[in-house]
């Protein structure tokens, strides 16, 4: 039993969608302020990890940090996933290449195999910390990643079929799984529970206590994201395809899908590689004729998020205007 007289374990089996999943057994014991502070500084902890990882790899290769790019290049793609209790953690695909060459990148140093790289990344995770300031005189302290670190090597074959090659759809599906969960499961207003209401109330209270220029000045703008102010998906600058190329590919895909629907043809879903190639040869036709297609949001969840964001933006603009008049 905890100090509030509640059991410290739950043995009940929960169905999928049960709003009790992720809820603290004792809400009075749960550190809601610490939860909010972790969310706010999680992006900074990740940034420090990327710096530390490069330093650890440089040390393993026997070169100064400043000369790592001469022998190796660290690349990554990262997604932030919300746990059921509303706390983010990170999933990342990390790759080590050799130095940059005119053709791309050389092979990774032989001294750092995939297994060695996994060990170095675990070492970097253990080293990273950030001393978070208190918020409104509450909380604060040293933040670290937890002990549940799982670094695995990615192979060129499938775990369920070792003789079959790993295809791009599987890797994309892995990232999409967490991206979709991060974007919908915890911010959907239909997902209501006493735990989430109290978490948002804690964030609102902390936002009301902020002062101009302090580290939490903009906390109120991120209550709808449970205090997490980072992007759910990010990558190192040179990892894989650029975001600009992805935007162009998405535009091409939309045109092809519309053409197929109009002509009654099947959409070529496996021809994505063709959509992102030949950028230099593509031209843009500007048509000066427009027709109204419609307006609004796809679902109630998107509508609620948009309205909440707009309300926060108006409140923030009003606060800044009042502050300017006061000064």
The yes-or-no verdict on residue 181 having pLDDT over 70 is no
Question: Beta-carbon neighbour count of residue 73 at 10 Å?
Answer: 21
265-314 confidence digits (pLDDT tens) = 887 766 655 655 554 444 444 555 566 666 777 777 778 888 888 888 88
- In angstroms, the CA 141 to CA 226 distance is 20
77-133 confidence digits (pLDDT tens) = 888 888 888 899 898 888 898 988 888 788 889 999 999 999 999 999 999 999 999
Domain boundaries, the chain: 27-155+166-240, 244-276
- In angstroms, the CA 264 to CA 97 distance is 45
Q: Are 89 and 83 in contact (CB under 8 A)?
A: yes
pLDDT at 161: 65
Q: How confident is the model at residue 185 (pLDDT cuts 50, 70, 90)?
A: low
CA-wise closest residue to 74 among 86, 84, 65, 87: 65
pLDDT at 272: 55
CA-wise closest residue to 222 among 234, 238, 204: 204
- In angstroms, the CA 34 to CA 315 distance is 26
- Which residues make beta-bridge pairs with 95? 75
Q: Are 227 and 186 in contact (CB under 8 A)?
A: no
30-56 confidence digits (pLDDT tens) = 999 999 999 999 999 999 999 999 999
């Amino acid at each position: 039993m905890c100090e509030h007289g509640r059991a410290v374990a739950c043995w009940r089996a929960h169905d999928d969608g049960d709003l009790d999943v992720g809820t603290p057994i004792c809400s009075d014991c749960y550190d809601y302020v610490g939860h909010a502070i972790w969310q706010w500084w999680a992006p900074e902890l990740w940034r420090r990890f990327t710096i530390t990882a490069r330093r650890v790899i440089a040390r393993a290769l026997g070169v100064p940090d400043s000369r790592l790019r001469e022998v190796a290049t660290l690349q990554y793609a990262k997604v932030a996933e919300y746990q059921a209790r509303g706390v983010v953690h990170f999933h990342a695909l990390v790759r080590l290449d050799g130095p940059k060459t005119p053709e791309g990148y050389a092979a990774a140093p032989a001294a750092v195999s995939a297994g060695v790289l996994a060990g170095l990344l675990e070492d970097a995770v253990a080293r990273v910390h950030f001393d978070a300031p208190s918020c409104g005189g509450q909380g604060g302290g040293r933040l670290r990643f937890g002990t549940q670190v799982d670094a695995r090597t990615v192979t060129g074959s499938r775990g369920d079929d070792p003789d079959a090659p790993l295809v791009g759809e599987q890797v994309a599906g892995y990232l999409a799984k967490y991206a979709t969960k991060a974007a919908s499961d915890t911010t959907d207003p239909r997902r209501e529970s006493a735990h989430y209401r109290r978490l948002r109330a804690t964030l609102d209270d902390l936002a009301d206590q902020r002062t101009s220029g302090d580290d939490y000045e903009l906390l109120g703008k991120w209550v709808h994201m449970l205090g997490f102010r980072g992007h759910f998906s990010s990558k190192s600058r040179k990892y894989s395809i650029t975001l600009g190329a992805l935007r162009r590919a998405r535009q091409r895909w939309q045109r092809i899908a519309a053409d197929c629907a109009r002509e009654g043809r099947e959409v070529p879903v496996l021809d994505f590689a063709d959509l992102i190639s030949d950028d230099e040869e593509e031209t843009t036709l500007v048509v000066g004729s427009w027709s109204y297609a419609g307006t609004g949001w796809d679902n109630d969840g998107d509508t609620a998020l948009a309205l909440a964001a707009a309300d926060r933006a108006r409140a923030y603009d009003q606060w800044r205007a009042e502050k300017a008049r006061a000064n």
